[in-house]
Amino acid sequence: MKIHKKIPYTHFLLYGAVLITTLAVGILIGVTAVDTGASLFEDGRIYGKYTNADKKIDQNVSFNIYWQVWKSIQEKYVEKPVSEKDLFYGSLKGMVASLRDPYSIFLEPQPAKELFNNLEGKFEGIGAEIAIKNNRLTVITPLPGSPAEKAGLKSRDKIYYIDDFDTTNITLLEAVNRIRGKKGTPVTLKIKREGIDDLLEIKIIRDTIKIVSVRSEIMETKAGKKFGYVKITGFNEDTTSKFIENMNNLISNGINTFVIDLRNNPGGLLDQAQNITGYWIEKDKPILIEKFAGDKRVVLKSPGPGKLSKFKTYILINGGSASGSEIMAGALQDYKLATLVGEKTFGKGSVQDITEFSDGSLLKLTVAKWLTPKEREIDGQGIEPDVFIELTEEDFNNDRDPQLDKVMELIDNNGQNQN
């Protein structure tokens, strides 16, 4: 299974066990389970502790130094006792960190479990999207059917307190950490709602949240032209099926112009991004090139059917569009099957291989880079839009969307790219 994963950009989804790291955590391919024999800590001891400790691994490196440092910490560190488990996992994290690659990481069992939960599109939390607007923590939207919606939380509610914590000057990271939590546990939000003077107190019981990765609606331009707006928030396990369902519904309603919104889409499962892109690109044409060490290249081809190529398509992108979003945007731009509107994408185009170990920990290691079908490198470069339109903080704070407005202008002008 080929997968890639990251985190939302401007907004954070409060689905519970969210991995808050750098933008666009990465792309994982080939999940491999490694059996190390006995489970590492099954009876409170570390197994194989001195295995190969004297083995010469390099003419200038003595592995004995590792164990000398280990012993010194155990015997001399002022805060005792020192957890051998923490030392063990910490040394593995440090080893991977020495690569100075932000997408190569070692995860202990619990964070590793949370990573896979993210990819499955399920989390434990309240099910609401938040952002900082006008220097105040604000609800962007509660998810349909979520605990947040059922409890009465509404779009544009300003969150003043999380339980008894004052959210003045709070960061998104801290807000997510305070609001998320285990299924069945409560969190109380004190909110300010437009038209109501006093703060409202809303108690929400956290639950398992299923992410809806695709949503759509029929919209209309100023000139009265109808188009299908399709928002893809991430490429999860069910994204292709949800995409097909939404597109069929739009087409059955006579829609022949589409706006695909990939803004702040951090990626997800590579095969899902590949499958959806294939609905525009003819079967067996290249969608993506993976470049490995030694310039070895693997071409990933379209599964087809390419049926959407006959429809006029616009794609909204920004600096939060990463990984799978960049694959889709870059490929459709190369084949001139879509007009890209917005801002340059993030530039996350490397491939990570995942190895899962018997204790539940995992290693995510960069093994390749991504190129578009025309061999444009994505990593560190990003995908430039055909029509550049910035969405400023002032626009966001005042609920303006000049990027979508520009697309509607292009639709009214018969799809011509007018800057």
Nearest alpha carbon to residue 180 among 153, 150, 148: 148
Residues 194 and 314 in one domain: no
Domain with 234 in it:
214-349+368-412
Residue 101 pLDDT class (50, 70, 90 cuts):
confident
Do residues 408 and 218 make contact, with C-beta atoms less than 8 angstroms apart? no
Give the pLDDT of residue 322.
87
Q: Which of 146, 302, 321, 323 is labelled catalytic?
A: 323
From CA 154, how far away is CA 193, in angstroms rounded?
8
Active site residue 207: no
Give the burial string for 406-418 (b: 16+ CB within 10 Å, else e). Answer: bbbbbbeeeeeee
Contact 407, 220 (CB under 8 A): no
The domain total for the chain is 3
At 410, give phi and psi (nearest 5°). -65, -40
Q: Kindly state whether residue 50 falls inside one of the protein's structural domains.
A: no
Residue 307 lies in a domain: yes
Q: Are residues 345 and 266 in the same domain?
A: yes
Dihedral angle of Cα 401, 383, 283, 415, to the nearest 10 degrees:
40
User: Lowest-confidence range among 217-226, 254-263, 316-325, 380-389?
Assistant: 316-325
Query: Which one is catalytic: 207, 261, 271, 334?
Result: 334
Average pLDDT value for residue range 266-278: 90
Same domain, residue pair 6 and 116: yes
For 230-243, write each residue's pLDDT tens digit: 999 889 888 999 99
- What span, in angstroms and rounded, lies between the C-alpha atoms of 125 and 407? 35
Same structural domain for residues 176 and 235?
no
| Position 418 in a domain | no
Residues 239 and 194 reside in one and the same domain: no
Is 281 within a domain? yes
The yes-or-no answer on residue 334 being catalytic is yes
Whether 360 is in a domain gets the answer: no
> Given this model, what pLDDT does residue 328 score?
97
Q: Which of 97, 120, 143 is the last residue of a domain?
A: 120
Specify whether 30 is located in the same domain as 174.
Answer: no
pLDDT, tens digit (0-9, with 9 covering 90-100), for 165-203: 999 988 877 888 899 888 999 999 999 998 899 999 999
Q: In this predicted structure, what is the pLDDT of residue 59?
A: 56
User: What's the pLDDT score for residue 376?
Assistant: 96
User: Counting beta carbons within 10 angstroms of the beta carbon of residue 265, is it exposed (0 to 12), middle (13 to 18) or buried (19 or more)?
Assistant: buried
Predicted model pTM: 0.70
Whether residue 49 lies inside any domain: the answer is no
Flag whether 47 is in a domain.
no
**118-127, 344-353, 364-373: range with highest mean pLDDT:** 364-373
Calculate mean pLDDT across residues 336-355.
90
In a domain, 265, yes or no: yes
DSSP assignment of 404-418, as one string?
HHHHHHHHHTTT---
Looking at 104, 120, 136, the residue that finishes a domain is: 120
- Average confidence (pLDDT) over 278-290: 96
Q: What is the pLDDT of residue 102?
A: 78
- The answer to whether residues 218 and 335 belong to one domain is yes
> Which of 242, 348, 364, 406 does the annotation list as catalytic?
348
Q: Is 72 a residue of the active site?
A: no
**CATH of residue 273:** 3.90.226.10
Residues 136 and 171 in one domain: yes
Report the b/e string of 141-152 with b at 16+ CB within 10 A: bbbeebbbbebe
Closest CA to 313 of 215, 214, 411, 222: 411
Judge if 257 and 376 occupy the same domain: yes
Distance separating alpha carbons of residues 132 and 138, to the nearest angstrom: 6
Among 83, 98, 120, identify where a domain stops: 120
Do residue 167 and residue 25 come from a single domain?
no
Identify which of 308, 387, 294 has the alpha carbon closest to the alpha carbon of residue 340. 387
Same domain, 62 and 193: no
Q: How confident is the model at residue 125 (pLDDT cuts 50, 70, 90)?
A: confident
- Answer yes or no: do 398 and 279 share one domain: yes
Residue 116 in this model has a pLDDT that exceeds 70 = no
User: Distance of alpha carbon 51 from its chain centroid, rounded?
Assistant: 38
Which has the minimum average pLDDT: 118-122, 209-213, 287-291, 295-299?
A: 118-122
